[in-house]
Amino acid sequence: MTHDAESMPQRARPWRFDDFAEDAILGEATLILDEARLTRWAGLFGQTAPPTTAPAGLLVALLMEGYMDAISPRPLAISMRASGCALPAPGSVQARP
């Protein structure tokens, strides 16, 4: 799998709603749909052979991955939810040692 995200200019601050403008190009990411990715996808569903065409679900996953690469960094709460981390309760104080 190849990503161009490393070569893209990095933003100093996370993307916020107000950063999005209608019809604006936000960035790009290159993802390779190769035999290895098709085989891994098939393995998720207990299949031993990769599909001969890209399943719709895999294309959606690629779209989401490309979006995450192009629109980065994201606000902490969004990143935490996506990675399965629990968010602190509103108003709670989180201290780190």
At 8 the pLDDT is 43
Whether 43 is covered by a domain: the verdict is: yes
At 17 the pLDDT is 82
Whether 19 is covered by a domain: the verdict is: no
Q: Can you list the alpha helix ranges (DSSP code H) found in 45-75?
A: 56-70
CB 35 within 8 A of CB 50: yes
Q: Which range of residues forms the domain containing residue 66?
A: 32-81
- Tell me which residue of 95, 58, 66, 64 sits closest to 82, measured CA to CA: 64
Whether 27 is covered by a domain: the verdict is: no
What does pTM read for this prediction? 0.56
Each residue's pLDDT tens digit, 7-39: 445 567 787 888 888 998 888 888 899 999 999
The arithmetic mean of pLDDT across residues 67-79, rounded, is 72
Number of independent structural domains in the chain = 1
Each residue's pLDDT tens digit, 36-63: 999 999 999 888 888 888 899 999 999 9
Decide if pLDDT at 94 tops 50: yes
